[in-house]
Amino acid sequence: MATIRMRNTNKRLTQEQEVQSFLDEQGVLYEHWDMEKLPNDLRDIFLLSDEKKQEILSIFDSEVSSLAKRRGYKEWDIVALSDATPNLDELLKKFEQVHVHTEDEVRAITAGNGIFTIKGDSGYFDVELSAGDVISVPVNIPHFFTLMENRQVVAVRLFIDASGWVAHLYEDPDFKS
Ligand SMILES: [Fe+2]
């Protein structure tokens, strides 16, 4: 389940209901997928062949279709990151810059963890995600994504148009790392 940390005050939200209400208020979609559906050989595996990625997408076909239908997403794929990823440190350095996109950034975590840092009404907040958490950072909202200490994640990504999914850097004097 996701937890929230307010960067200004260090206040944490850890109760499901308060996390859900807070994200609703910020316009951030937050849902769950049932990871019990994943067979053991697809759980906590961070080096995935194309076949395995396809298998995960098939298992969550109805969840993906529901999200796509409700929100207009047209394409989806799977991203897997871990210490086995070439240039992981460089990638993370690039990720950890505040930016915006011209469409939602949608991630359904199927293994590992990740953090979205998002600009909210009262400053930046971190959303710490684990397997089963689904989040959509709205279009044009400043944010960035990074990994947690375990440095591993598998996530389904959904796009309206993956080719237009570009990070536009957002210079923000309010952001303190
Ligand atoms: Fe992004």
Whole-angstrom distance, CA of residue 70 vs CA of residue 13: 27
Q: Which candidate, 129, 67, 154, 147, places its Cα nearest to that of 104? A: 67
Query: How many Cβ atoms are within 10 Å of 110's Cβ, its own excluded?
Result: 29
What are the extents of the domains in the chain?
Answer: 3-169
pLDDT 10s digit of each residue in the chain, 177 long? 999 999 999 999 999 999 999 999 999 999 999 999 999 999 999 999 999 999 999 999 999 999 999 999 999 999 999 999 999 999 999 999 999 999 999 999 999 999 999 999 999 999 999 999 999 999 999 999 999 999 999 999 999 998 878 999 999 998 977
Q: If you measure from the C-alpha of residue 98 to the centroid of ligand 1, how many angstroms do you get, rounded to a whole number?
A: 8
Biggest CA–CA distance in the chain, Å, is 46
Q: Which candidate, 95, 133, 138, places its Cα nearest to that of 118? A: 138
Q: Please state the residue numbers annotated as binding site for Fe(2+).
A: 99, 101, 105, 143
Whole-angstrom distance, CA of residue 108 vs CA of residue 32: 8
* CATH ID of 3-169, from 3.40.930.10, 3.40.50.970, 2.60.120.10, 3.40.50.1220: 2.60.120.10
Q: Which residues surround ligand 1, an ion (CB under 5 A)?
A: 105
